[in-house]
Structure 1
Amino acid sequence: MPDSRVPRLRRFLVCEPRHFAVQYAINPWMHPDTPVDVDLAQDQWQALIRAYRTHGHTVDAVDPVADLPDMVFAANSALVLAGRVFGSYFHAPQRRPESTAYETWFKSAGFDVYRSESVCEGEGDLIPVSLPHSRLRSSEGTPIVLAGTGFRTTREAHHEVQEFFGVPVIGLKLVDPLFYHLDTALFVLDDENICYYPEAFSPGSREVLARLFPDAVLATREDAMAWGLNSVSDGRHVFVSPYAEALAGRLADHGYVPVPVDLSEFHKAGGGIKCCTQEIRS
């Protein structure tokens, strides 16, 4: 099994943490009185970029904007599928100007951008994946989007996403404030499987996930608290928090190759590897 996993080269969009800080509290992880080591954050972020490029992935960067300390969390800026960009409308007023900065980058890169009319936080709550053995799967793109709600992205935004991309959107309710975005509780392993922490979801959402992904890798609360679910996988290599050791071992048992990357300074703002990574799917 370990040799059967095949990586797929990705294109990522990131934002340098030049202005990163914890200046306000919009999730349970944020405490403005906790000091942030800006130099360490920069070093950790650079290590993530090196890891991506070492494994063959393309990395583009948007210029950071002063007074937008959370702009480093590029995943929240949009969902990009088949070269189409569904832009974000942030829940917190402090982050709303980020949408314009990212929209400017996408347009300069040749993309058309649709701006959500409802609160929607991009890949923070919108995760594309294929269904195992699904007749819906096609060579043209990802057949479904898993969509989180409960704390940030609204159900109305789920409807907008479905209308915009023309793919089924499956709503999942998050119930634990510590895991306020879907990407803190679930990530895609490969074209048709996922890893997730069941207790982050409502009973009905847990049942939906169990039915759709019976072979999913299940995570524990300890894995989730260590930011193990805020990971990025290329189908073989899983860029994962080094503090989620048990989860890394479980992933290895399933044939994946963990690539530990420490973004602990960003945990102070409620973010990690995936939060810092927007995928451009063309």
Structure 2
Amino acid sequence: MQTALIRRPGPRLADGLVTHIERTPVDLGLAFEQWQSYVDALHGAAWTTIEVPPIDECPDSVFVEDTMVVYGDVAVIARAGAEERRAEAAGAAETVAAQGYRLVSITAPGTLDGGDVLKIGSTIYVGEGGRTNAEGIRQLRAALEADVRAVPVKKVLHLKSAVTALPDGTVVGYEPLVDDAGAFDRFMGVPEEAGAHVVLLDDGRLLMAASAPKSAELFSGLGYEPVLVDISEFEKLEGCVTCLSVRLRG
């Protein structure tokens, strides 16, 4: 059985950071409903969830993926590129440690956001840009026994704002927002920005945003089963399906 860490939205969600898009009003009540539907979708795919303690003073804390990188039996605790978000890490670290993971922490002057890290087998792509720096990538490489590759991120907030990967390892992305598609061994363009974001529920099912119907149709044609959730209020804060959870080993 697969397990995911989640963290419920706080009352200041609408004040979350926005860097690459125009700020638009967030409906907090709808955001709570959408978050619950996201969690229900995980449960519907036979995942269990563990809640990280809420931290109401941090508007972006629902984006719990940014707090860590989990690989094998190690959880690398991030040091957020945005100073306002660094308080989010402590509670997440305690929660993942309770699941038996060995902790390693990114330290100054390194910065690393979990949303910049795309794992495909033993290869780990890390976006170097606004939130993750070269020193953070160096420390991540030292902490993990893996092939860690830095790739540029300039057009979007995080690497996984631009690309994720299908179960067969093919990287998918919305090409106008991908800085270097050639950095990936296999790349396939998708017709919508939100279509670049998938969570692998299992070998056949992909958790996706409802705002990417054309991409869902594309993936269906490849034999996958898209599971669509409406996350419109989180998309207003540059959020996507990947950043609302940390997927752990079974």
The normalised TM-score by structure 2 is 0.92
User: Which residue pairs with 1:19 in the alignment?
Assistant: 11
Match of 1:104 among 94, 99, 106: 94
Q: 1:20: how far off?
A: 4.6
- Does the 8 Å CA contact 1:230/1:275 hold for their aligned counterparts? no
User: Which residue pairs with 2:149 in the alignment?
Assistant: 170
Post-superposition Cα deviations, 1:57-94, rounded to whole Å, max 9, x if no partner, equal 12111111121111100110101111210011111121
Q: 1:115: how far off?
A: 1.3
- Give the residue type in structure 2 aligned to 1:154: N
User: Which residue pairs with 1:184 in the alignment?
Assistant: 161
Match of 1:263 among 226, 231, 243: 231
CA distance in 1, matches of 2:238, 2:12: 12
User: Which residue pairs with 2:136 in the alignment?
Assistant: 157
- Does the 8 Å CA contact 1:12/1:279 hold for their aligned counterparts? yes
- Runs of 4 or more above 3 Å deviation: none
Equivalent position SS for 2:19 = coil
CA distance in 2, matches of 1:281, 1:29: 33
Q: Which runs of 5+ in 2 are unaligned?
A: none
User: Which residue pairs with 1:134 in the alignment?
Assistant: none
Q: 1:24: how far off?
A: 5.2
CA distance in 1, matches of 2:54, 2:32: 13
Q: Does 1:206 align with 2:181?
A: yes
Equivalent position SS for 2:13 = coil
CA distance in 2, matches of 1:18, 1:93: 18
Q: Please give the residue correspondences for 1:1-282 in structure 2 after superposition, counting only pairs within 5 Å.
A: 10-23=2-15, 25-29=17-21, 31=23, 34-117=24-107, 118-122=110-114, 124-130=115-121, 143-176=122-155, 179-202=156-179, 205-209=180-184, 212-213=185-186, 216-220=187-191, 223-224=192-193, 227-234=194-201, 235-281=203-249
- Does the 8 Å CA contact 1:240/1:258 hold for their aligned counterparts? yes
CA distance in 2, matches of 1:109, 1:102: 11
Post-superposition Cα deviations, 1:25-46, rounded to whole Å, max 9, x if no partner, equal 4422363xx4322211111011
- Give the residue type in structure 2 aligned to 1:233: L
Equivalent position SS for 2:137 = helix
% of aligned pairs identical?
23
Q: 1:194: how far off?
A: 2.5
CA distance in 2, matches of 1:19, 1:110: 31
Residues 1:168 and 1:48: Cα distance change in structure 2 (over 3 Å) = same
- Give the residue type in structure 1 aligned to 2:73: G
The normalised TM-score by structure 1 is 0.82
Q: 1:251: how far off?
A: 0.6
CA distance in 2, matches of 1:92, 1:30: 18
- Give the residue type in structure 1 aligned to 2:197: N
CA distance in 2, matches of 1:247, 1:191: 17
Residues 1:232 and 1:20: Cα distance change in structure 2 (over 3 Å) = farther
Q: Which runs of 5+ in 1 are unaligned?
A: 1-8, 131-142
CA distance in 1, matches of 2:60, 2:91: 12
CA distance in 1, matches of 2:10, 2:157: 25
Larger displacement relative to structure 2 (266-275 or 21-30): 21-30
Post-superposition Cα deviations, 1:84-141, rounded to whole Å, max 9, x if no partner, equal 100111111211100112112223333332111211001x0111103xxxxxxxxxxx
Residues 1:180 and 1:245: Cα distance change in structure 2 (over 3 Å) = same
- Give the residue type in structure 2 aligned to 1:240: M
